């Protein structure tokens, strides 16, 4: 096994006294794990930070063996880890991707979308500049893994007009008329999830409530549920920031 590719660092785990097992997302070969000799050294620690872009070279004698990975830095976002809100966003989105995606399966749309979210956080550390991109990324990840929401038509009537809610059971949109009397049992559907453009904070928080429900129910279950702590921390910080 020999692979060379640009990648986004997702997760790092200490291995032995000085090494590290790194999981990184490539565009054409999906999530690839690898052992980095000296990965915890002073030289490599700044490179092996979640959300950094690297050029990686994976080598292994067989496909079942953990590959040896050598890395070169391409783009560092390490400075963002010193700012509480951007750091929480990077921690969540990389942990989500690492936990949800199977290894070695390509998801080019997710690779591009994750890069766009990270670029947005870097370009505008104020959450208003990247929060909508984060919600859309979570929706795309659900869709790519087979748990997409249908926000194009009412799950009750089939109509495409006056959509205002989302069913927590089916993940389908519900029109305001069909939702009458049951609004408290449904999620409010923010306009930015069905239309282009910016969103205000109530809509952003409503979008996060929708994606959070389906991520926890359908993807981040059992052993993969640990990253939800990072999401809860991020959402709490966002609510405090806009209170």
Decide if 5 contacts 82 (C-beta within 8 A): no
Give CA–CA dist 234/71, Å, rounded. Answer: 29
CATH architecture designation of domain 79-242? Up-down Bundle (1.20)
Can you say how many angstroms the Cα of residue 44 is from the centroid of all Cα atoms in its chain?
A: 24
Return the pLDDT at 1: 83
pLDDT per residue rounded down to tens, the chain (243 residues): 899 999 999 999 998 888 999 999 999 999 999 999 998 888 999 999 999 999 999 999 887 789 999 999 999 999 999 999 999 999 999 999 999 999 999 999 999 999 999 999 999 877 888 999 999 999 999 999 999 999 999 999 999 999 999 999 999 999 999 999 999 999 999 999 998 777 999 999 999 999 999 999 999 998 889 999 999 999 999 999 887
CA distances from 185 to 111, 129, 168, 206, 231 (A): 34, 30, 8, 14, 23
Place of tokens 């002073």: 42
Q: Is 183 left (phi over 0), alpha (psi -120 to 50) or beta?
A: alpha
Class of domain 2-76: mainly beta
Of 51, 26, 52, give the one whose Cα is nearest residue 105.
Answer: 26
Q: How many CB atoms within 10 Å of residue 204?
A: 21
- Quote the DSSP letter at residue 67: P
3-state SS string over 23-46? EEEECCCEEEEEEECCCCCCCCCC
- Quote the DSSP letter at residue 216: I
Domain residue ranges in the chain = 2-76, 79-242
Give CA–CA dist 59/232, Å, rounded. Answer: 37
Give the containing element (helix H, strand E) for 163.
Answer: strand 163-166
Residues 6+ apart with CB under 8 A from 101: 25, 30, 31, 107, 110, 145
Can you say how many angstroms the Cα of residue 243 is from the centroid of all Cα atoms in its chain?
A: 25
Length of the chain: 243
Return the pLDDT at 224: 87
User: In which order are the strands placed within the sheet that holds 150-154?
Assistant: 150-154, 172-175, 163-166, 187-188
What is the pairing mode between strands 172-175 and 150-154?
parallel
Strand partners, 23: 11, 33
């Amino acid at each position: 096994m020999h692979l060379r590719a640009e990648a986004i660092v997702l997760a790092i785990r200490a291995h032995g006294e000085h090494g590290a097992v790194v999981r990184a997302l490539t565009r054409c070969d999906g999530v690839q794990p690898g052992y980095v000799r000296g990965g915890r050294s002073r030289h490599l620690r700044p490179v092996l930070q979640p959300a950094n872009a690297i050029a990686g070279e994976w080598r292994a004698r067989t496909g079942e063996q953990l590959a040896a990975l050598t890395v070169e830095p391409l783009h560092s976002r390490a400075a963002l880890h010193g700012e509480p809100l951007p750091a929480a966003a990077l921690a969540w989105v990389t942990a989500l991707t690492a936990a949800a995606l199977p290894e070695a399966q390509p998801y080019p749309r997710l690779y591009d979308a994750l890069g766009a979210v990270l670029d947005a956080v870097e370009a505008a550390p104020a959450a208003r500049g990247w929060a909508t991109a984060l919600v859309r990324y979570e929706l795309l990840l659900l869709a790519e893994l087979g748990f997409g929401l249908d926000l194009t038509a009412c799950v009750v009537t089939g109509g495409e007009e006056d959509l205002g809610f989302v069913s927590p059971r089916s993940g389908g949109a519900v029109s305001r008329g069909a939702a009458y009397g049951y609004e408290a049992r449904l999620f409010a559907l923010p306009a930015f999830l069905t239309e282009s453009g910016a969103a205000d904070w109530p809509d952003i928080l409503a979008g996060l409530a929708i994606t959070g429900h389906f991520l926890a129910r359908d993807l981040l279950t059992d052993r993969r549920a640990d990253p939800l702590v990072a999401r809860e921390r991020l959402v709490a910080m966002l609510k405090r920031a806009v209170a």
